[in-house]
């Protein structure tokens, strides 16, 4: 289907920035944009919330308006305007969904890394509460609070860092030092 005269005039009016032209354009083609967003997301097995759909629609419309309607200026009229806009919308949506997927993978990887960092391997954990109590008997201040928070209260490094005001990356080495101190004391007895 070729470009209709109504669409040709609408494009011309938008490019000339006539009052109300953009609003007519949006009224006429926003449904196409929403359809493309939903279809593209469905084909990529992505579930979008209503606000994400609206954000994507906004991104598509902003792309059309960008650089003084550069997208509309490039249109040569060899297809219907709806088909042309569907292609533009799909490109924008695929790009944004790709970025979203990359961001979500990075967030997931960072969360897993953080959880892994907060866990001490089983072979170096103190599992016996008696050992923890012996260690606590020989400690005072921040070291005692650190051991208590980690072993007895089962708090994460992030929680301990926030609660005790010590750097998160120093918690593991401090616990290792304290465990070594306990082992040395135990072998000397």
CATH number at residue 139: 1.10.10.10
Range 157-162 average pLDDT? 87
71 and 100 assigned to the same domain:
yes
What CATH number does residue 87 fall under? Answer: 1.10.1740.10
Helical segments of the chain, H only: 5-15, 21-43, 50-74, 81-117, 129-137, 141-147, 157-164, 171-188
103 and 145 assigned to the same domain:
no
107 and 161 assigned to the same domain:
no
Which is more confident, 140 or 166? 166
17 and 65 assigned to the same domain:
yes
The domain in which residue 111 lies consists of: 5-117
Residue 20 main-chain phi, psi, to 5 deg: 75, -10
Structural domain ending residue among the three candidates 117, 143, 175? 117
Measured distance CA(39)–CA(32) in Å, rounded = 10
Structural domain ending residue among the three candidates 117, 135, 150? 117
Residue 75, pLDDT score: 93
Using CB atoms within 10 Å of the CB of residue 20, give its burial: 0 to 12 exposed, 13 to 18 middle, 19+ buried.
exposed
Of the listed ranges 12-16, 88-92, 130-134, the least confidently predicted one is: 130-134
Contact between 61 and 23 (Cβ < 8 Å): no
Task: With cut-offs at 50, 70 and 90, classify the pLDDT of residue 140.
Answer: confident
* Other Cβ atoms within 10 Å of 82 Cβ, number: 16
Total structural domains within the chain: 2
142 and 84 assigned to the same domain:
no
Per-residue pLDDT tens for 71-124?
999 999 889 999 999 999 999 999 999 888 888 888 888 777 776 655 655 444
99 and 144 assigned to the same domain:
no
159 and 112 assigned to the same domain:
no
Measured distance CA(185)–CA(189) in Å, rounded = 7
Structural domain ending residue among the three candidates 88, 117, 146? 117
Per-residue pLDDT tens for 19-74?
899 999 999 999 999 999 999 999 988 899 999 999 999 999 999 999 999 999 99
Question: Residue 134: pLDDT above 50?
Answer: yes
Range 146-166 average pLDDT? 84
């Amino acid at each position: 289907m070729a470009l209709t005269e109504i669409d040709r005039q609408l494009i011309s009016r938008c490019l000339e920035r006539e009052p109300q032209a953009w609003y007519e354009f949006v009224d006429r083609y926003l449904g196409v944009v929403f359809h493309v967003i939903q279809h593209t997301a469905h084909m990529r097995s992505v579930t979008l919330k209503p606000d994400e759909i609206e954000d994507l629609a906004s991104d598509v419309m902003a792309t059309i308006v960008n650089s003084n309607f550069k997208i509309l200026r490039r249109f040569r009229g060899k297809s219907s305007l709806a088909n042309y806009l569907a292609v533009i919308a799909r490109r924008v949506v695929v790009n944004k969904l790709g970025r979203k997927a990359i961001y979500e993978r990075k967030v997931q990887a960072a969360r897993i890394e953080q959880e892994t960092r907060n866990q001490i391997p089983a072979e170096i954990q103190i599992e016996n509460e008696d050992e923890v109590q012996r260690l606590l008997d020989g400690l005072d201040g921040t070291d005692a609070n650190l051991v208590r928070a980690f072993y007895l209260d089962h708090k994460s490094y992030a929680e301990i860092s926030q609660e005790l005001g010590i750097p998160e990356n120093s918690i593991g080495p401090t616990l290792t030092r304290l465990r070594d101190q306990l082992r040395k004391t135990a072998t000397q007895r």
